[in-house]
Structure 1
Amino acid sequence: MRITALTALITFVIDQLSKWAVVQFLDLKTVGQIDVLPPYLVFHMAWNQGANFGLLSGHGDLLRWGWVALAVVISAWVMRWVRREQFSILGQISAGLLVGGALGNAIDRIIYGAVADFLNMSCCGFQNPYSFNVADITIFAGAFGLILFTGETKNRT
């Protein structure tokens, strides 16, 4: 359980520091776009009020607070799950990645009214129109890790 909580805390801090550095310090909220290593890495400001890729955006405060509540409920459920089960270290880290990322995006919704997305990556003639953030990466990695590193392992005799 401590590994999960520590991973969640580190993930949350890295996510929030990266957003502060890019959105506030580099002033991406005003500049809009900064070419870092174009087209492979571009900081492109996008305020996501919906779910992944902006789905269900435009439904105002009800959806905003619904996403915050959902992130808190899922995070609490995952922490309870970790406490009940005997996860491997990779399972515990995966849970922490998911929880830290979910809470990082929830805080964005509380502070900014939307999730601050700024990473945009394209390659090989494909122009990616979407931006994402560190929390999105950790949520995906954590969910994938939970699928891979948790579950029943029964000895068959």
Structure 2
Amino acid sequence: MSETTDPQDGAVDAAPESPGRPRTRLLLLLAAVVLLLDLGTKLLVVATIERGENIRLLGGAVYLTHARNTGAAFSFAEGFTVVFTLIAAVVAVVIVRTARRLFSTAWAVTLGLVLGGAVGNLIDRVFRDPGFLRGGVVDFVSVFAPDGEVYPIFNVADSAIVCGGVLGVVLALRGIEFDGTRASGTRAVRDRGAASD
């Protein structure tokens, strides 16, 4: 990091660091890991657990329950499968296009989680019954009770999307940009607060 000296007061200010290389590889690698985990677990569930069957684990804290979801994550808004399929496709395209200007490691992790999850569920919607763009997503994790009685049944892709979404909100609230810098508005507010102390 280079330093500059203010000629008026002799203070040394840190010059901004160079952003380095885009974090595209990290984003795509994490998305691929999420996608492989999601597809692998779904294939295992379909091959070994009958629909409606519940396997009790960890003293009933978790149940493996083979279910199909035609709604959004966590079975929200079932009946809009085609809409969610198109939304997932658009999200995936936007994230891939954004990757070229992504220099923040935290944002790369965030978008990698969302991309992997979106593509994982998108594959189900395209290739599974009842048909193209209307396929039911394989869900299998039910917590605290079988059949989603306490909390909606979900899968690896849903978890990745939610974790990525929460992390994205945290980064946005902290004013962290895709290039790794903080938003000027956030910096200005912080500077004003420091000056008033």
**TM-score calculated relative to the size of structure 1:** 0.82
Give, in whole Å, the separation in 2 of the partners of 1:68 and 1:74.
Answer: 10
Percent sequence identity is 29
Give a deviation string over 1:113-156, Cα, whole Å, max 9, x none: 11111001118xxx515210011100011111222235341455
1:101 CA displacement: 0.4
Aligned match of 1:49: 70
2:158 aligned partner, one-letter code: D
CA contact (8 A) 1:28 1:34 kept: no
Kindly indicate whether residue 49 of structure 2 is the aligned counterpart of residue 27 of structure 1. yes
Runs of 4+ in 1 over 3 A off after TM superposition: 149-152, 154-157
**What residue ranges of structure 2 are gaps of 5+ in the alignment?**
1-23, 129-134, 192-197
1:107 to 108, 113, 123: 123
Aligned match of 2:139: 117
Give, in whole Å, the separation in 2 of the partners of 1:48 and 1:96.
Answer: 23
**What residue ranges of structure 1 are gaps of 5+ in the alignment?**
none
Which residues in structure 2 correspond to 1:71-90 (within 5 Å)?
A: 71-87=88-104, 89-90=105-106
RMSD: 2.1
CA contact (8 A) 1:105 1:115 kept: yes
Structure number with greater Rg is: 2
Aligned match of 1:68: 85
Higher relative contact order (CA 8 A, sep 6+): 1
Give a deviation string over 1:76-128, Cα, whole Å, max 9, x none: 112222322432x12201110100001101111122211111001118xxx51
CA contact (8 A) 2:72 2:81 kept: no
1:117 aligned partner, one-letter code: D
1:2 CA displacement: 0.9
Give, in whole Å, the separation in 1 of the partners of 2:77 and 2:165.
Answer: 21
Between Structure 1 and Structure 2, which shows a larger proportion of helix residues?
1
Moved more, 144-153 or 90-99: 144-153
